A and B are shown apart, each in its own frame.
Chain A
Amino acid sequence: MIRPFKYSKPRFLREALEALEKENTRALAGGSDLLVEMREGKSQPEHIVDVKAIPELSCFSIGKDGITIGGQLSLNELADSKELGQTCPILGDAVRTVATPQVRNRATLVGNLCTASPAADMAPPLFVLNAAVVVASKAGEQRIPIQRFFQGPKKNCLTPGQLVLRVEIPPCSSGRGVFMKKSRVQGHDLATINVAGWANPQDGSLRICIGACGPTPVLLTGSDELYQRAVSRDELLDGLAMLAQDQIAPIDDLRASAAYRRHLVTVFLGRMVRILFPEEGGTSRAS
């Protein structure tokens, strides 16, 4: 059972920010993580601030300057957006793997990030897309790179009085992405691992992020250099596998052993590289 608490649903951002400064106060958007935590006694807030009536959190735009997704947008609102699917398919691919249709009708993208699970399905694509989280407090707005937003298992960088307004994704027209997820069953399940990759032949960048293999999603460092140096697809793959094995730190848990996760990472990197660079032998940046 959920312990009693006070509920408010402010219509103005300032009101919400003031309320969130108080001790033991939590913001509620979709509730699919928070209400479960409360039911299990892991979180016992005295005050819940429902942020679904705040206009600043309802923005959703896709344009030349990039993509902006407000804090109230449900995952299914994103999944149903044809424009988003065309502009940035890896986001849509990732969204559709999260939980169930019922949960996706409530759960928000921003909430998925705020829970800061190392296995958050929306994290790897947003890491490789170089997204930023825009946070408001009474002192003003702050733009936080998504890597800095994730601090540890279920730990984000927000302090009391802060609220995420939106996620901003830079333009992603000149690149190609892949999202992959392994779970124990085909239906609804958390990720055993999830990975996203983004290759941009124009500027020679290759970003790869691996989830559920460390305290936070792991954005590989050194992948750009490998991409620029590798003379063949196989060489790139070998190099990436070594980088990944060096940088991930998976644990044994109920979903998989650390050893199996390590194995999966190499398998998934192979599949991903073959999709990102379909031509045998080539990782040609001219293509």
Chain B
Amino acid sequence: MLHEIPLYTISVEVNERTYTEKVPAQMTLLQFLRERLCLTGAKEGCGVGECGACTVLLNGKAVDACLVLAVEADQASVRTVEGEARDGELTLLQRAFIEHGAVQCGFCTSGMLLSAQSLLEKNPHPDQEEIVEAISGNLCRCTGYVQILEAIEAVALGREEGG
């Protein structure tokens, strides 16, 4: 056992703002976001990388924040659902989720949005199979996925206003 818990200084850009904090090595990125920065959009569902409720973008890639140590995110850039809307204006994807009834209890929504967003940024016009694959790491127990797929598809097909 360690007698003293060592702390490590990390500097992380979260939603385009840089935070410099001292963290213990065992703190996950999810704990850092939720408990230090009070960004509670990313949720802890399973804590072992099965459910995707904690999905954030780390250097542009969707990852489970429960399986990343905060110290590993030193010098990295992180995007959470809180950073998606700009000046009170929801993103196309967020609007599509609302319009298609893709949100019920909302626990999976932030992760779903970020998985879908990372897909659309890499591949603006994915087919249905690619959409299903992109959100295959995000479990939803309410919607049955259909409305979520429809919302993402609407953005992919440019059916959403401004898309």
Contacts and interface: CB of A to CB of B under 8 A. Distances in A.
Contacts of B48: 36, 39-40
Interface in A81-130: 99-103, 105-106
A1 interface: yes
A36 B67 contact: yes
B2 A188 contact: no
A102 B69 contact: no
A31 B68 contact: yes
A188 B50 contact: yes
A259 to B, nearest CB: 28
Contacts of B149: none
Nearest to A46: B2
Interface stretch (B83-91, B94-102, B130-138, B151-159): B130-138
B26 A31 contact: no
B34 interface: no
A31 B137 contact: no
B45 to A, nearest CB: 12
Interface stretch (A2-10, A226-234, A270-278): A2-10
Interface residues of B, number: 30
A1 B28 CA distance: 10
Contacts of B24: 4
B52 A106 contact: no
A67 interface: no
A50 interface: yes
B163 interface: no
Contacts of A5: 2, 25-26
Interface string B1-44: 11001101000000000000000111010000000000000000
B71 to A, nearest CB: 5
B115 interface: yes
B155 to A, nearest CB: 18
A32 interface: yes
B72 interface: yes
A243 interface: no
Given A7-B71, A36-B49, A99 B25 contact: no
Contacts of A187: 136
B79 to A, nearest CB: 14
Interface of A: 1-7, 9, 28, 31-32, 35-36, 38-40, 46, 48, 50, 52, 76, 99-103, 105-106, 187-188
28 contacts: A2-B26, A4-B6, A4-B25, A4-B26, A5-B26, A6-B25, A7-B8, A7-B69, A32-B67, A36-B49, A36-B67, A50-B71, A52-B72, A100-B50, A100-B52, A101-B62, A101-B115, A101-B134, A101-B136, A101-B137, A102-B63, A103-B64, A105-B58, A106-B63, A106-B64, A106-B67, A187-B136, A188-B50
Given A100-B137, A101-B137, A188-B136, 5 more contacts: A7-B6, A31-B68, A32-B49, A35-B28, A101-B62
